[in-house]
Chains A and B, each alone.
Chain A
Amino acid sequence: MTTTANTTTKTTMTTPAKWRTWLVYAGVALVVAYCLAPFYWMLVSSLRRTSDIFDTTLLPSPVSFDNYRAVFDPSQGFGRALLNSLIVSGITTVLALLLATFTAYAMARLEFRFKRLILTLIIATSMFPVVSIVVPLLKLFTDIGWINTYQAMIVPSMSFALPLAVWNLTTFFRQMPDELEQAAMIDGCTRGQAFRKIIVPLAAPGIFTTAIITFIAAWNEFLIALSMTNRPSIQTAPVAISKFAGATQFDVPFGSQMAAGVLVTIPLVIMVLLFQRRIVAGLTAGAAK
C-alpha cells in the first residue's frame, strides 16, 4: 500500500506536482497559524509587563511574570477558584462516567424495546439549551438555599455531561468486537463477568478519553457557574477570571486575565494532546484480529 503510493508520487513528481506539494505545505502553515495565533497572543500578552501590555511586538521584551504574580495575589482568590473548578468538574465527570458506562454498555450490546428512542432522547438532551434549565433551577435553588453551593453547579452540569458521556461511550463500546464477549460467555462467564473482566479493561482507553472530554466540557462551563453563584469564594475559574478587578472600574486588567486564561487552558491543552494519542492507540488494536 505505502510502496505503491510512494512509487506513484515519485514517478509523477513533475513541476506541477512540486507546486502542489508546496501549496499543501502553505495550506498547512495557514491552518496552524489560524489555530495558534490567537492562543499565542494570549501567551505573549500574559508575559508582558503591565506598562507595555499594549505593545504589538511578537515577543515580549522584557519577559515578565508580573501578571502571573498578580493572578495569584490573595485578593483575586484565583487559587480558590481553580480548586472550585476542579471540584465541580471532577465530581461531575465521575458521576457522569459512573452512570454512563452502564447505560452505554446496554445501548451498544443489548437489544431491548425503545432502544433507539431512548438513545435519541438522551442525545437530544445534550443539545438542550442550558439556559432553559438554568432559569427554573435558579428559582428552585434560590428557594431551597442552594445558591453558592457546589451541588447547585454539579446538578445542572449533569444535564450536558451525562448525555455526552453516554454517547461517547456508546460509540466506543460499539467499536469493540462482539466476539470477545461471546467467547468469554462461551467459556462460562456471565454477562456481568464478561463486562467486568473483558469489556471494562479493554474499554479503559475509551472510558479515559470520555472522561477527559466530559471533564473539559464541565471545566469550560460558564453559564451555570455564573448564574448559580454570587460569592467569589465559590466561583469557578472562568467566572472568577471574568470578574478580575483592575485598579479602577474602567481599567480592565488584561494582563492578568490573559495570564489566568493561560493557566486555565494549559492543563486542557496537555490533556488534549494525551487524548489524541489515546485515540491513535486505538481501543482493541490487535485484540480480536
Chain B
Amino acid sequence: MVDAKTPPDAAAVRPSGAAPRRAGRPAAPVRFRGGQKRATAGSGRMAALLVSPTLLVLTVVVLYPTIMALRESLYGAKGLDPETGFISDTEPFVGLQNYVDIFGEAGDRFWNAFWNTTFFTVVTVGLETVIGVAMALIMHKAFQGRALVRASILIPWAVPTAISGLLWRWIFNSDGIANALIGQQVLWTTEGFHAKIAVIIAEVWKTAPFIGLLVLAGLQVIGKEVYEAARMDGASPVRQFWHITLPLVKPALLVAVLFRCLDALRMFDLPYLLVGAQKNSVETLSMLAQNEASNVRFGPAAAYAVILFLYVFLIALGFVRLLGADVVGDGGTARKAKRKGRLRRAPAPGRAEVSA
C-alpha cells in the first residue's frame, strides 16, 4: 500500500475515453512516466464488456427493488376499504399517507425504532472504535504471540451474527453466566434499558476486534523514524498517540468507522434473536420494516425501508463530504486531491470485510 500515487495532474492528461481500436488487442503497452499507467487503446470498450454484467446484476437486485420500494411505499394495505366498505384485493393507492402516518398515527413505533437505531449506532460504534484502537495498540506492541492474537481476534468476526445473537441470549439468560458473574438477577432479555445494554455488549464483542484489525494494518504502515524523532523532541507517549498515531491511522479508521456505522444502522439479526421481535426497547428500523412486510403490510414496510435507505445515504454522504473518508481508495483523482490539498494515504487493505 505504499506504492507511488498518481499525481493530481495525471488525471487531466489521461485519455480516458480513447477511441477503441481492436478491442482486447492493444497495439502496444503504452506507458508514460510520471504516473500515467495502464493506458491502452481499446480500454473503453473492453471495460464496458467487463463491467456491464456486474452493473446489470446490481441493477436487477438493487436498483429495481429500490424503485419498487419507492412505488410500493405509496400504496396502502389490502383489506377493508373505508370508503366503499368492500374488501379489496388490490392495494389502494394512498399517496404519501404512509409517510404522513409516520409523523402521526404510526409515529410512536417508528420514532422509537428510529431512536433505537440511532442510539445503537452511536453507542456501539463509539465503543467499538475505542476498544478496537486499544486492541490495535496492544497488538502492535506485542512481538510474540501475534499470530495467536490475530487468529483469536477473527473468531468473533467469523461467528455468524445470528449465532452470536443466540449465544448472547444464552449468556444473558436469567440463570446464565452473566448474572452469575455479576451476582444479580437481571432479566436481560425482557423489555427495558438492560435489553439495550445486552444488545450493545453483544454487538461490540463481535465488531470491535475487526476495527482493531483494520487499525493495526494502519499502524504497521507508520515508520519507526516518526516515533523516534518525536521521542528525541521529548514527546510523551500520550502526545505521540494524539499527534502522530491518530492522525496517521485516521484514513484507515475513518473508512472502518463509516462502514461500521452503516452496518449498525441496518442492525437486525442481533436484537431480533437476542431479545425478540416487536420489543420496543430494541426494535430497529430494519426490524420494524421486516415485521411490517412479514405481516403483509408492504406499503408501510416500504416507507420505513425508504426512510432507512435515505438515513444511511445521508450518513454516508456526511462521512465522505465532511470528514473526507476515501472509500474507493484509488489515491488521487485531480478533483479530490485538490479539494483536500494533499494526497491521502490509501486506506488499510482488507477493509471490505467490514460489512460481512
Contacts and interface: CB of A to CB of B under 8 A. Distances in A.
Interface of A: 24-25, 27-28, 30-32, 34-36, 38-39, 41-42, 45, 54, 56, 99-100, 102-103, 105-107, 109-113, 115-116, 118-140, 155-156, 158-160, 162-164, 166-168, 171, 175, 178, 181-182, 185-186, 190-192, 213, 216-217, 219-220, 222-223, 226-227, 238-239, 241-242, 252, 254, 257-258, 261, 264-265, 268-269, 271-273, 276, 279
A27 B166 contact: no
A213 B157 CA distance: 11
A219 B269 CA distance: 13
A130 B308 CA distance: 10
Given A136-B305, A162-B61, A238-B160, 13 more contacts: A31-B138, A38-B167, A41-B171, A102-B51, A106-B51, A107-B51, A110-B47, A112-B44, A132-B66, A135-B305, A159-B61, A168-B352, A171-B329
Contact of A257 (B60, B153, B170, B308): B170
A98 B171 CA distance: 41
A56 B170 contact: no
Contact of A135 (B72, B273, B329): B72
Given A136-B69, A269-B158, A276-B154, A129 B286 contact: yes
A113 B170 CA distance: 53
Interface string B161-200: 1111111111101011100100000000000000000000
A36 B177 CA distance: 15
B170 A128 contact: no
Name the 8 nearest CB pairs between A and B, nearest first: A238-B162, A136-B68, A27-B138, A220-B160, A112-B47, A129-B266, A106-B50, A133-B65
Nearest to B138: A27
Interface majority SS (helix, strand, loop, mixed), chain B: helix
A209 to B, nearest CB: 9
B55 interface: yes
Contact of A24 (B16, B138, B268): B138
Nearest to B164: A38
Interface of B: 1, 14-17, 24-26, 28-29, 31, 37-40, 42-44, 46-48, 50-51, 53-55, 57-58, 60-62, 65-66, 68-69, 72, 135, 138-139, 141-142, 145, 148-171, 173, 175-177, 180, 205, 209, 212, 259, 262-263, 265-266, 268-269, 272-273, 285-286, 289-290, 292-294, 298, 301-302, 305-306, 308-309, 312, 316, 327-330, 333, 349-350, 352-353, 355-356
Contact of B205 (A38, A119, A222, A238): A38
Contacts of B305: 129, 131-132, 134-136
B309 A135 contact: no
A32 to B, nearest CB: 5
A24 B141 contact: yes
A126 B139 CA distance: 29
- Greatest chain B CB density within 10 A among A122, A131, A181, A213 is at A131
Interface of A is mostly: helix
Contacts of A120: 327-328
B72 to A, nearest CB: 6
Given A35-B209, A222-B161, A223-B286, A159 B333 contact: no
Given A36-B155, A227-B294, A242 B273 contact: yes
A254 B29 CA distance: 62
B74 to A, nearest CB: 12
Contacts of B48: 112
Contact of B54 (A54, A56, A122): A122
B166 A191 contact: no
A228 B305 CA distance: 17
Contacts of A131: 266, 268, 285-286, 289-290, 305, 308
